[in-house]
Structure 1
């Protein structure tokens, strides 16, 4: 089956071609309709109150080509499907994004050994048909298609959402604005693919490839069922919502929607140039670099690339516009700083400031004490102990990043690093001061906009332990965004592999991470499914170097959770600062100086800079 896929699946030339030579007649293409449909019926389409719909009683498919637009029913009478129908629509994303999505989905399907047929709409949309050897339950098919929509912003999953009315135009069908659906795959190859349909084993490979997206959709569905996430409301044709939802639900900031789809609100931005500058300004404010932006033009941000008229224009203007974005961000920061009180870190008093090298050595010693002594102590405290373990890791990570052992850090900044509520962090900070043997000591109370001040030092009773143990390689982290989705058990297990002095077994991971054996086994199995880690023939675990935790966090939706928490914290700070301003007339500050509902939805830059940027955004 996999070998046949290389011959029968559409090639890259087929995917990107705008037209094919020797196009068969529409009536010949219509003969594929019964091989695609879930039942041998179609619906005729017509305009109703300015919207094109497919109402009425289904009509039996015959050899004669319908004279008007016709869409075959995707589901059978029992709700099952025989073909996965992927509808890439230019009303959901720019043409360049649609073409890129078709290529990306085609590559994914081929890598899983799935063969498919592709057609092209006169409007520029594309359809990919994945025939199934065994009929699939409609709910399972919808789950798969909605997971694919996470990877392709232009994918409309609606044909698979309604078992009774879900339908799609097939090759040869008349388009609502004239013309016919054209087949991109050669007709003979299309017949072969639709007759020699895909085996269940290939579908299982696709499920494994879509594991992060499937998990994210299930979690969002559970939250919707509890009433925590509102379902997206239907929009008028051609309208762009103020905060465009993702194709399979949830919330999304307007600028991220522009960067993904290339569509923008013409009432706010008069041209594509203004829309892309808004996106670039925001990325610059979030700490991105030009190489990181370039790298995501074919990843997270195909819509940003589509806002340029051509590839040559992109190459000519991107660097120039990025310089403007950096200058705009710097000027905005200077303007705001003139109206804000000093919130810089508190400097040590009564002596010289510690050097950067001494701070890094101190953190290394403190890590040894953490792993050898405090982790075991906190383990006995249950759930609170887990919070204390990660809070102390966050303290050490902040020390290394800011190169100081005197921390003037608010609860909300630590809450960002831990994925916790700031009230929980406030309680944990007090407990950490009590239980850390003097490692973390509060030396000043919060006042006005300044947070509590803590001194972090190596306790006298643990100095010998710190010196006897060898420093560990790598960086220490609190909760990285991906582990907001996977949980603290996975974070500790991954750390045990990442920072181990050798490649550990499952038993060694459970011992070093100080978690239960069953918890370790479940976490390791899940991370292995996401290709974060792998086990060799000696049953020892390794980190998969080619898997990006930042990209996986994006696929699991953890980056959206980070952005939502940043937004909440900025709103809360705005309320607090407004209260301070009312009691200090000399420090007047507009709310827009602290929070803008569009531009303050942060994206954390990918790569090693992610943790550093998170601290700066949260502070």
Structure 2
């Protein structure tokens, strides 16, 4: 990775790409970069790729904050057009192949330096004085680049907010990208993040944890100019100032529009979760039957998705205390990490099965979504087991995959360490898939091997979700569905004046609800069940 978890760069990566002008251009500009670096007494390491591209690595004695490294490379790209600044543009995902790395076209990155010279460069590194000279020499280019960015049309901020944090604030906190016409200095951008987090109800400890865990590496880099001892003090002062800016009573976590109490539809009254003794007994029996039915899904291509849909319905029933559920397919798509069309197809498949556990009791009409009821077959399994809490797709598993979700669940419910054959029996997943899932979980600290077997790791699912970037995906999906619901309600109001019933032959404006061209992969934030959403 180009940046550390604290948003600092210890090496400048200069990536000369053949796609911007061919091998000849790269060779010519590489020579120009070598000459420029030599003029200032800088040391570097160089390699060449099988495609003819080149990397020049400039190691530094003192780390520099991400915005300084990014501005440097972007300005230098004005002088050397084949220089690709993208590795330095994202704190969260910026990366670059190093010498010896496999190239996608075949072959490896080959070191062009004598090994002794390369070792000397990375050992001695470039002192602050040389970095300051390089930085000063391109002051005119940095000014041109700053004017270009300020004059560019900034992307509109999504008016929909999840947990009080806008996409603009999250982009600054994670990637360090902001509009210089709005925030004149990095300090102003930093204060915008602190104010937004404070508005959402985050404490100093919450913000600091996100910085230290790597969830907000760019924000950590914005505090790099302070000494390690004074960073916490500075953050506390700015948080106190942010409280004054947003008011004496900042919103508490969970009080946003998308973090509502559970209810059945967007027109029903809010229900509490108390007094659900009868439904709890029903759910225990239903959960037993569900576990038996899942055995029928083994080997099916869509089996894992159907199993997750059943878990989503069980979780919804447990939270509402009701057997009849009027959540729309978009709500279920959020819970299962799929597209609404997939959720609709899964519901139809489950309702049409022999010995089905759900049935459709009412069709959608107006603002009301289809209603499905959880049912028990006439013959129920005699085996009894304690009912464990079930989850729909928790956000981290949108990226890690459904097999990892089921394996994690088996470790979560186990009272002792499990070996692979036991995990296979508990999940109904093939051996090779279980091994891959365990490797994935272990790489993220969500599972670990002991002499007795596999157990849960110490990592947090929420932190993993933030590091994987799926929180923004959930936010975008929720924002899209909220806008679609508003369009649908507006259409209903225009087509159905008081006292008039919409006739079945009237055209439904399906074109307003087409999915976006490329939304990416659709992934327990506390907002995973953010009811209501449109059907």
TM-score category (smaller protein): 0.5 to 0.7
1:566-608 CA distance string (max 9 Å, x none): 344334334433422432468xxxxxxxxxxxxxx9xx99xxx
1:12-31 maps to which residues of 2 (within 5 A)? none
Does the alignment pair 1:541 with 2:465?
Answer: no
Whole-angstrom distance in 1 between the partners of 2:211 and 2:296: 47
Gaps of 5+ in 2: 1-7, 15-26, 75-83, 104-108, 114-120, 139-144, 157-165, 224-230, 259-264, 499-518
The correspondence for 1:402, drawn from 300, 313, 320, is: 320
Change (3 A) 1:274 1:176: closer
Match of 1:301 in 2: 216
The question of whether the paired residues in 1 share the 8 Å contact of 2:328 and 2:369 is answered with yes
Aligned to 2:133: 175
Counterpart in the other structure of 1:555: 467
Contact residue 424 and residue 431 of structure 2 kept, 8 A: yes
Report 1:575-586 matches (<5 A). 575-584=487-496
Q: Work out the number of aligned pairs and report it.
A: 431
CA contact (8 A) 1:412 1:618 kept: no
SS class of match (1:441): strand
1: distance between equivalents of 2:468 and 2:341? 26
Q: Secondary structure at the match of 1:478?
A: coil
Aligned partners of 1:74 and 1:85 also within 8 Å: no
The answer to whether the 8 A contact 1:416-1:566 is kept is yes
Between the aligned partners of 1:89 and 1:403, the Cα distance in structure 2 is: 55
1 CA distance for matches of 2:440 and 2:186?
Answer: 42
Distance 2:364 2:207 in 1: 38
1:389 is paired with a residue whose SS is helix
Structure 2 residue 279 is the aligned partner of structure 1 residue 355 = no
Correspondence 1:428 to 2:346: yes
Of 287, 290, 293, the residue aligned with 1:370 is 290
Please tell me whether the aligned partners of residues 67 and 174 of structure 1 are also in contact (alpha carbons under 8 angstroms).
no
Name the SS of the counterpart of 1:534 in structure 2.
Answer: strand
Q: How does 1:270-285 map to 2 (within 5 A)?
A: none
Larger mean CA deviation between 78-87 and 310-319 belongs to 78-87
Q: CA deviation at 1:391?
A: 0.3
Query: Counterpart of 1:613 in 2: which secondary structure?
Result: coil
Give the direction of change, closer, same or farther, for the CA distance of 1:410–1:513 in structure 2 (3 Å limit).
same
- Distance in 1, Cα, partners of 2:307 & 2:33: 65
Where does 1:90-109 land on structure 2 (aligned, <5 Å)? 93=67
Q: What is the aligned counterpart of 2:237 among 284, 288, 313? A: 313
Contact 1:408 1:452 in 2 (8 A): yes
Give, in angstroms, the shift of residue 328 of structure 1: 11
> Secondary structure of the residue that 2:373 maps to in structure 1?
strand
Note the C-alpha offset of 1:439.
Answer: 3.4
Q: 1:521 maps to which residue?
A: 435
State the SS of the aligned residue for 1:553: helix
1:392 aligned partner: 310
Per the alignment, residue 58 of structure 1 pairs with: 31
User: In 1, Cα distance between the equivalents of 2:89 and 2:273?
Assistant: 52
Alpha carbons of structure 1 residues 77 and 257: separation in structure 2 relative to 1, 3 Å: closer
1:86 and 1:157 in contact (8 A); partners too: no
2:266 pairs with 1:343: yes
1:471 aligns to 2:444 (yes or no)? no
Check whether the contact 2:91–2:217 (CA below 8 A) recurs between aligned residues: no
Change (3 A) 1:294 1:405: farther
Where does residue 265 of structure 1 map in the other structure? Answer: 179
C-alpha displacement of 1:452: 1.4
Q: What's 2:335 paired with?
A: 417
Aligned partner of residue 359 in structure 2, secondary structure: strand
Question: For residues 354 and 432 of structure 1, do their structure 2 counterparts lie closer, same or farther at Cα, with a shift above 3 Å needed?
Answer: farther
Distance 1:241 1:92, change over 3 A: farther
What are structure 1's unaligned runs of at least 5 residues? Answer: 1-14, 17-32, 39-53, 102-120, 126-141, 181-233, 245-251, 335-341, 587-600
With over 3 angstroms needed to count, the CA separation of the structure-2 counterparts of 1:561 and 1:85, relative to structure 1, is: farther
Q: Separation in 2 of the partners of 1:315 and 1:301?
A: 16
- Is the CA contact 2:332–2:343 (under 8 Å) kept in the aligned structure 1? yes
Q: Which has the higher contact order (CA 8 A, sep 6+)?
A: 2
Q: Rate the CA distance shift 1:582–1:77 in 2: closer, same or farther, 3 A.
A: closer
1:212-231 matched pairs, under 5 angstroms: none
Q: Give the secondary structure class of the aligned counterpart of 1:509.
A: helix
Contact persistence 1:286–1:613 (CA under 8 A): no
